[in-house]
Structure 1
Amino acid sequence: MPDLPLTAWIALAAVLGLLVGSFLNVVILRLPERMAAEWRREARDVLELDARDEALPPGIVRERSHCPHCKHPLSAADNIPLFGWLLLGGRCRYCKAGISIQYPLVELLSGVLSAIVVWKLGPTWPALAGLVLTWILIALSGIDFRTQLLPDQLTLPLLWLGLLLALKPMFVAAPSAIVGAAIGYLSLWSVYWLFKLLTGKEGMGHGDFKLLAALGAWMGPLALLPVILLSSLIGALVGGSLIALRRHERGVPMPFGPFIAMAGWVWFVAGDTLLHTYLQLTGLR
């Protein structure tokens, strides 16, 4: 790689993260719509119903970005990550309808987290892999927050990529990656079925199993307990805050995938530091 100061690499990662964040918004909004349309087509085929002339929603790559209200295509200036939304004052240039704050938030989050990954790992191949992990976790979190879905189109490639990187090995050795993936899946799978047998209800979705399996493949089995504990803590804090602020009703299901993703990313970039701090505070080291 070119010989540049670390600060330059961090800045480049931040800019790249902003650009990728703009694409992640497209994935978050369009992938569930495409999935739902394809499910309806498959259901009609299985049930041998008359086919409907239903146009598929816009694709993720080919179709240009457009206003979700008036459908007017956006110009290049409107699509500048973060700054396009700010320059427009959060409103469509053409119909003046409000534009969701999700767009700049996802772009900003992608830029900041990308910079942190490169700051932590340096201009290395592991950092590039870490960026891919970060971007997929952001997309999964956004989709789960909106739809309570964790698409196989994202969780399974993340799982396989973690296993393939273990052949290097880049983060953990292959045996640890395989065991981590298996334990990650089976741990939540067991909780799911135990909860369902006791209550008759589904406490979480199958996508949560696959996401934790993917994190186990990337970081090994020893990371799973801290990730589960962190995700439970984050979920309790966020859920309690939303209920206290009356932004979420009691008894209404809340997606758990984003909290798993948050905890997994935190442990990926700072697990060693957190473990060292814990051992010092508890007097175990």
Structure 2
Amino acid sequence: MPYFSLAFWPLIFVLGLCLGSFLNVVITRLPVMLMRQWRQEARAQLALPDEPTPRFNIAQPRSMCPNCETTLRWHDNLPLIGWLKRRGRCAHCDARISAQYPLIELAGGVVAISLVVLYGMSWQALWLYGACLTLLALAVIDWRVQLLPDVLTLPLLWAGLLYQWLFQPAYLTDAVIGAAVGYISLWCFYWLFKLATGKEGMGYGDFKLLAALGAWLGWLSLPLVLLFSAGLGALLGILYQASSPQARGTPMPFGPFLALAGWIMLLAGDDVLALYLNIVS
């Protein structure tokens, strides 16, 4: 199909919206699924009887209003259109529906078009799209519940190494070093901070996420990833606490800023890295 036909770009955008809609399901349900699993494991360790719970996974139950739990009708569940049609409110109880849903769907469509522009209709673009969606899911989950699930970070790491082996075998060594350096660098920072302050500055999920970014980007990109994420995190943290004094002392997750920096480097990393090397050389 010609890239610039009238039907091509809308089709790519709609497919991206649909995958963004699925990503919303993962973002909202995966933490609940993990919490239920950990609760069951804890009860088993304590020799407590099983706790009967209704089936809950990515597929079941059907999408519903988070307030009144009314099942959504098919036309209210259409990506982007359903939210806009109801003006961000539930058709049954009129409660507000978070803007997260259309924003994630829109991001899925925009990133899909961006990667086709950069890489064409290729397997490479598909792999990178999967990485971008995974980073987006990790960022939103960490922002909401301060959790970076292994079920997302570890496959992202191995997918990065496999991506290099398939598409850029000359960079595989850099990717392996990047994964190791990414994990070890934040692990060292964690323990230095804990020894100096007695507090935990971040979680182990951040180590694994930076290791995954090292696998996708190589070790040379890690200083830029840390610079972007730390700078943006510090700036938003200062602005947030200045606008909400009652929030002072509240920990902020680092994962969303790592994921955003990873996004930038995945989509424009060659240009950014070349500019960085020219500046420091």
Shorter-chain TM-score tier = over 0.9
Give me the whole-angstrom Cα distance separating, in 1, the residues matched to 2:196 and 2:147: 24
Question: Cα–Cα, structure 1 residues 182 and 277, in superposed 2: closer, same or farther, change >3 Å?
Answer: closer
- 1:63 aligns with one of 61, 79, 85: 61
- Contact 2:209–2:255 under 8 Å retained in 1: yes
Give me the whole-angstrom Cα distance separating, in 1, the residues matched to 2:26 and 2:63: 11
Give me the whole-angstrom Cα distance separating, in 1, the residues matched to 2:130 and 2:73: 27
Question: Cα–Cα, structure 1 residues 219 and 66, in superposed 2: closer, same or farther, change >3 Å?
Answer: same
Partner of 1:37: 36
Partner of 1:142: 140
RMSD: 2.1
Give me the whole-angstrom Cα distance separating, in 2, the residues matched to 1:13 and 1:193: 45
Give me the whole-angstrom Cα distance separating, in 2, the residues matched to 1:248 and 1:15: 41
Q: Name the stretch that deviates more: 66-75 or 108-117.
A: 108-117
User: Which residue type is aligned with residue 71 of structure 1?
Assistant: E
Q: Map Cα deviations across residues 73-97 of structure 1 (whole Å, 9 max, x no partner).
A: 1111111111210100111111211
Alignment of 1:76-115 (within 5 A): 76-115=74-113
- Contact 1:126–1:170 under 8 Å retained in 2: no
1:173 CA displacement: 2.7
1:279 CA displacement: 5.7
Question: Cα–Cα, structure 1 residues 283 and 29, in superposed 2: closer, same or farther, change >3 Å?
Answer: closer
Partner of 1:129: 127
Alignment of 1:101-250 (within 5 A): 101-170=99-168, 173-246=171-244, 249-250=247-248
- Contact 2:160–2:212 under 8 Å retained in 1: yes
Corresponding residue SS for 1:236: helix
Give me the whole-angstrom Cα distance separating, in 1, the residues matched to 2:280 and 2:188: 34
Matched pairs, number: 281
Partner of 2:48: 49
- Contact 1:172–1:220 under 8 Å retained in 2: no
1:176 CA displacement: 1.6
Give me the whole-angstrom Cα distance separating, in 2, the residues matched to 1:248 and 1:170: 49
Give me the whole-angstrom Cα distance separating, in 1, the residues matched to 2:5 and 2:241: 42
Give me the whole-angstrom Cα distance separating, in 2, the residues matched to 1:275 and 1:63: 45
Q: Given the alignment of the two structures, is residue 20 of structure 1 paired with residue 19 of structure 2, yes or no?
A: yes
1:36 CA displacement: 0.5
- Contact 2:241–2:247 under 8 Å retained in 1: yes
- Contact 1:179–1:220 under 8 Å retained in 2: yes
Q: TM-score, normalised by structure 2?
A: 0.92
User: Which residue type is aligned with residue 46 of structure 1?
Assistant: Q
Higher share of residues assigned helix: 2
Identity of aligned residues (%): 51
Question: Cα–Cα, structure 1 residues 8 and 237, in superposed 2: closer, same or farther, change >3 Å?
Answer: farther
In structure 2, the gaps of 5 or more residues are none
- Contact 2:124–2:167 under 8 Å retained in 1: no
In structure 1, the gaps of 5 or more residues are none
Give me the whole-angstrom Cα distance separating, in 1, the residues matched to 2:13 and 2:270: 23
Question: Cα–Cα, structure 1 residues 171 and 72, in superposed 2: closer, same or farther, change >3 Å?
Answer: farther
Corresponding residue SS for 1:78: helix
User: Which residue type is aligned with residue 234 of structure 2?
Assistant: A
Question: Cα–Cα, structure 1 residues 25 and 248, in superposed 2: closer, same or farther, change >3 Å?
Answer: farther
